[in-house]
Amino acid sequence: MQIVHTIAQLRQQLGGFKRPAFVPTMGNLHEGHIALVRQARPLGDVTVSSIFVNRLQFAPHEDFDSYPRTLDADARRLEAAGCDVLFAPREKDLYPEPQTFKVHPATDLSDMLEGHFRPGFFIGVSTVVMKLFSCVFAGVPGGVAAFGKKDYQQVMVVRRMVQQFALPIEILAGETQRAEDGLALSSRNSYLTAAERQEAVHLSQALRALGETARAAAGVPDLSALEAQAMQALARRGWKPDYLTVRRRADLMPPHGPLADQPLVVLGAAKLGNTRLIDNLEI
């Protein structure tokens, strides 16, 4: 595996290939990232991953400075998974000057849920993903980029961006990888204390219970009441929930009418101690 740091080095390594399979990450890799590499690899003629902690998607009070940076260990895991090229730019390599041109996703998708609680988050995500796409896919007829479904809303934002800009990139959404007890794998799980790690599984359990309650309700259930009850139950366990909600998979809007025939997803975000966790379950 070749490790490169500049855009010029990356493009030199990718010269001659026609269909990159790309997995962008912020590092501190877990099995979810590695699963994406393995899924994407057969779909391209060269497998590329990036590691870059993107300042643009962090609010001033968030954990940009403390976000785990484990490049050497990450590189070993990527190489073992069959990655061909690791792009690990420094901030000055990807943003040699202030990034004043930014991608602003449609507010109907990006200002709800994560976008509501983390204002500007999806502008930062969309901007860095667009820039990484321009680095990896420049001069090729097409390719594949893989993202994990744990960041459900993010996948939808990226898909819509690719569609709107007519980018020749197929977006692969990999299933959420979980620990044996059901906790969604996340780089931020490393922040959890031992006691918090045992408690953390209750987020996925709360989402599953909310989904089952909503599906089992007769007629048209009062979802806002069910969601409030789910949040209160989680809060009684010591969590600080931002949202637990049932939404349509198609556009993440609240469903209308009977739920039986609607493809739905239950999404949640909550803080446990100092760690904010997100998860979702399609139902």
9-36 residue pLDDT tens: 999 999 999 999 999 999 999 999 999 9
Q: How do strand 264-272 and strand 20-25 relate by DSSP bridges?
A: unpaired
pLDDT score at 258: 85
pLDDT per position as a tens digit, 59-75: 999 999 999 999 999 99
Q: Report pLDDT for 230.
A: 98
Confidence band, pLDDT 50/70/90 cuts, at residue 137: very high
Task: Kindly list the domain boundaries of the chain, sorted by start residue.
Answer: 2-174, 187-282
95-115 tens-digit pLDDT: 999 999 999 999 999 999 999
Q: pLDDT tens digit string along 167-210?
A: 999 999 999 999 999 999 999 999 999 999 999 999 999 999 99
How high is the pLDDT of residue 211? Answer: 96
> Letter for the amino acid at 59?
A
Instruction: Tell me the mean pLDDT in the region 48-69.
Output: 96
| Residue in 245, 281, 226 with CA at minimum distance from that of residue 112 | 245
Class at the top of the CATH hierarchy for domain 187-282: alpha beta
Question: Which CATH architecture fits 2-174?
Answer: 3-Layer(aba) Sandwich (3.40)
Average pLDDT, the chain: 96
Q: Alpha-carbon distance 68 to 28, whole Å?
A: 6
pLDDT for the residue numbered 257? 85
pLDDT for 220 equals: 83
Tally of residues, the chain: 283
Catalytic residues: 33
Hey, do 2-174 and 187-282 end up sharing a CATH topology, with the first three levels equal? Answer: no
Residue 256 CB contacts under 8 Å (≥ 6 apart), including other chains: none
| Torsion sign (Cα): 164, 166, 167, 168 | positive
- Percent of all residues in the chain with a pLDDT value above 90, rounded to a whole number: 95
Burial of 257 (0-12, 13-18, 19+ CB in 10 A): exposed
Q: Residue 225: what pLDDT?
A: 96
Query: Max Cα separation, the chain?
Result: 60
